Structure 1
Amino acid sequence: MPRGSSSRSRGGGRGRPGPAGLPWTEAVPGPVVLVTGTERLLGERAVARVTALAREQHADLEVTTLDAAAHSPGALDAVASPSLFGEERLAVVTGVEAPGEGFEAEVLRYLAAPADDVVLVLRHAGGQRGKKVLDAARAVPGAVVVDCPPVKRDDEKIAFVGAEVGAARRRISAPAARALVDAVGSDLRELAASCAQLVADTSGTVEVEDVQRYYGGRVEATGFRVADAVVAGHRGEALALVRQAVSTGLDPVPIVAVLALRLRQMALVAGTQGREEDVARALGMQPWMVGRTRRELRGWSPAALGAGVVVLAEADEAVKGGGRDPVYALERAVLALCASHER
């Protein structure tokens, strides 16, 4: 069967590539499925979803996984060569962002005339390398583009928790979702595992009490608790929480990141007026976050916020290798921020 022919339909619909691509929840098989972005969990889920849908359409689907970083010449050609028995095939190629020698030329040759009985899934985990491959994949007629950007903002993490619990046909209250994010942190894989545990071990709507029961010990010493104490100017509490967090294995880097996030939110909200709902919509925040931030701003002058941003920029460099002692740099930043609040 010659490449480029379309005598067979895969079914299941074609993706809408578009500039922004699809979320992983809408990924479908296509002649080429390009999964981009640094959020590894979502990338894995996109690949798994495409594979599952392809299996539903073709029970005899042959699935092969290749690693572009450890590319062997001819490996892709071998997978995509005409099948003796006519079965549909799916090839997942990981590591497209760091390809081995010869991979780019081989995949570009394939993308110029894709086989009609192969679903080629290319996983590119971000970075500047592989642009020719990305452009060529997007240009394939019927190509499916799936974006898996990093989930960084609090509201995105909370929405992720709600979706995870909702996928299990359960509900979680907004305060409980926030408490879980505070407790577990920003690692999406760990958040997903925590949601699964709560769903398995509780009944009805997941409430704050449920989160406290399973993760209360961690909540007490997370970067978010440190940030709460710092923005309130509670120097002793903030320092104690930092030391407790570090003693339980929490790295100074995410604590500084959370502090920086909180100050950025405060700086954004400081220049706004109007209803919380309107401000939240304009800034991409939740209304309750705007209300909380406005209350926190009562203890901060514009000069203090500006000084705090400088302090955290210096601390960020120090905890990432620019200083001799990351813990000392973090404690120094916490004390300086609390002093700014007091002034």
Structure 2
Amino acid sequence: MRFGQAYLALEKGELSPVYTLLGQDGALVDAWIERVYQKLTEKNQVMRLDIQFDEQGIDEILMAVDSPSLFGDRTLAVIRHFTGMQSGGKSKWDFTELETYLESPSHHAHLILCVDADKLDERRKLSKLLKRYPMIQCYTEKSSERIELARILDERARQLDHQVAQDLAERVESVGQFIRELDKIFTFSHHHPITMEILAELAVPRLEDNLFAFVSAVWSGHLSKAWAIRQELAQRGIDEFSLLGMLARQIRLMWYAKVVGTSKKAATELGVHPFALSKAGEEAVYWDRKKLESCLVSIADAEYFVKSGRWEAEGALLWVVSSLTVSVGQIKQPYNRAQ
């Protein structure tokens, strides 16, 4: 069930004894838990328990939901990082007793399972039992979803005009990031109306802009700038292998531009945008074919060393970036002197 639909329905309907929250958008997860807690406290004294599943396990869950609370009428047990249920995952836990509980849950307890994945392993009996109860999608795939949910959860999001909201939603990957950006923007704008100009100045750059800036910094020989952008990308979930892949792609494009040219026909045959091939062709002016091939071999070696356990991925990326920036400096220097 989509979060927005479920959240609005929660205002009117009865509470379920069990909820499964799928996804890692912290703003949505926390909002759901808080709303359930508020609903419970409207008519009851509630004892809330937050349990870290990977540390405390099944027994702690069962103790929380099976034992009537001495401090309230109801118990709300929130199970964080409920691992072992992700699709394709392996579990060291025996869920038999939890499965028995789900067949007939307690009337005095409410259980919220927070799963750090977008779906469960359908082969497990526990997954089939959990489907009897609401399963809430705590993640978003489209910018329009992020706008809709941010407006449900945060008054400030409802103040944004459509263009500003759309632009901000495209810069982030979650509702939590959307709301954190609102915190920053409203603070530094002194709570003035948010315009596109303010957004461009204060909001996090678009992910694709940052990725392009990283590659551009490497090819311009600016190691410190490239690594600063790398740190920003790491905070947004872009791993080292993705960046190595981007560098390899750029070198391949430069090689193709060197060999087959930068015509629209060549771009179509390669399945890339003509502008991307044209830009690669501009950079390829400074490189000879053998040097480009040598760089590709270096990236392939780095990937092998990481996969074989010899290098850490971050160290491999730093080595590749450092090597490339040195090569850029050596190659472009004669051209700079000639100019």
TM-score with structure 2 setting the length: 0.56
Q: Structure 1, residues 133-169: CA drift from partner, whole Å, max 9, x if none?
A: 332211x3xx1101234x6x7x64x863685368323
The CA deviation at 1:195 is 1.3
- Distance verdict in 2 for CA 1:251–1:124, change over 3 Å: closer
**Cα gap change, 1:37/1:323 in structure 2, threshold over 3 Å: closer, same or farther?**
closer
Matches within 5 A, 1:14-93: 21-23=1-3, 26-27=6-7, 28=10, 29-56=15-42, 58-69=43-54, 70-71=56-57, 73=59, 76-77=62-63, 79-81=65-67, 87-93=73-79
Q: Pick closer, same or farther for the CA change 1:85–1:61 going to 2, 3 Å.
A: closer
Deviation per CA, 1:258-292, whole angstroms, max 9, x where unpaired? 7868979xx9xx77xxxxxxxxxxxxxxxxxxxxx
Q: Does residue 171 of structure 1 match 2:160?
A: yes
Contact 2:19/2:112 (CA < 8 Å) preserved in 1?
Answer: yes
* Alpha-carbon distance, 1:186 to partner: 5.5
**Structure 1 counterpart of 2:97, from 86, 89, 106:** 106
* Secondary structure of 2:220 counterpart: helix
User: CA shift at 1:33, angstroms?
Assistant: 0.5
- Kept in 2: contact 1:226–1:241 (CA 8 A): no
Residue 50 of structure 1 aligns with an amino acid whose one-letter code is V
Match of 1:148 in 2: 138
2:127: which partner in 1? Answer: 134
After superposition, give the CA deviation of every residue in 1:92-123 in whole Å (9 maximum; x if it has no partner). 22232159987623321210111234322111
C-alpha distance in structure 1 between counterparts of 2:45 and 2:319, whole Å = 59
- The code of the aligned residue for 1:134 comes to S
- What residue ranges of structure 1 are gaps of 5+ in the alignment? 1-20, 272-292
* 8 A contact 1:223–1:255 mirrored in 2: no
Sort the Cα spacing of 1:80 and 1:234 in 2 relative to 1 into closer, same or farther, 3 A: closer
User: Hey, what's the Cα distance between the residues in 1 that align with 2:162 and 2:82?
Assistant: 39
Secondary structure, aligned partner of 2:312: helix
Give the corresponding residue for 1:197.
Answer: 184
- What does residue range 250-289 of structure 1 map to in structure 2 within 5 Å? 254=238, 257=242
CA 1:42/1:336 → structure 2, altered by over 3 Å: closer, same or farther? farther
Name the count of aligned residue pairs: 276
**Are residues 1:160 and 2:153 paired?**
no
Q: What is the distance in 2 between the residues matched to 1:105 and 1:59? A: 31
Q: 1:255 to 1:207 in 2, by over 3 A?
A: farther
Tell me the residue number matched to 1:326: 317
What secondary structure does 1:73 align onto?
A: helix
Higher Cα Rg, which structure: 2
Distance (whole Å) between structure 1 residues aligned to residue 148 and residue 221 of structure 2: 31
Distance 1:175 1:85, change over 3 A: closer
Partner of 1:206: 194
- Closer/same/farther in 2, CA of residues 162 and 35 from structure 1, 3 Å limit: closer
Partner-residue secondary structure (3-state), 2:59: coil
1:176 and 1:310 map into 2 onto residues whose CA distance is: 44
CA contact (8 A) 1:96 1:123 kept: yes
Give the structure 2 partner of residue 241 of structure 1: 225
Partners of 1:188 and 1:327 in 2: CA distance: 32
Distance apart, 1:187 and its partner CA: 7.7
Q: Is the 8 A contact 1:31 1:119 kept in 2?
A: yes
Cα distance in structure 2, aligned partners of 1:249 and 1:33? 34
Q: Which residue of 2 aligns with 1:278?
A: none
How far 1:242 moved relative to its partner?
Answer: 0.7
In the TM superposition, what is the alpha-carbon distance from 1:35 to its structure 2 partner? 1.0
Let me know the Cα RMSD of the aligned residues.
5.3
1:118 to 85, 96, 109: 109
Identify if the C-alpha distance between structure 1 residues 323 and 254 changes in structure 2 by more than 3 Å, giving closer, same or farther: closer
State how far apart, in whole Å, the 2-side matches of 1:188 and 1:309 are.
Answer: 38
Would the aligned equivalents of 2:58 and 2:95 in 1 still touch at CA under 8 Å? no
The whole-number CA distance in structure 2 between the counterparts of 1:162 and 1:309 is: 44
- What is the CA–CA distance in structure 2 between the aligned matches of 1:181 and 1:315, rounded to whole Å? 33
Query: Residues of 2 paired with 1:197 and 1:298: CA distance?
Result: 38
**Do the aligned partners of 1:66 and 1:93 also contact (CA within 8 Å) in 2?**
yes
What percent identity do the matched residue pairs reach? 15
Letter in 1 for 2:198: D
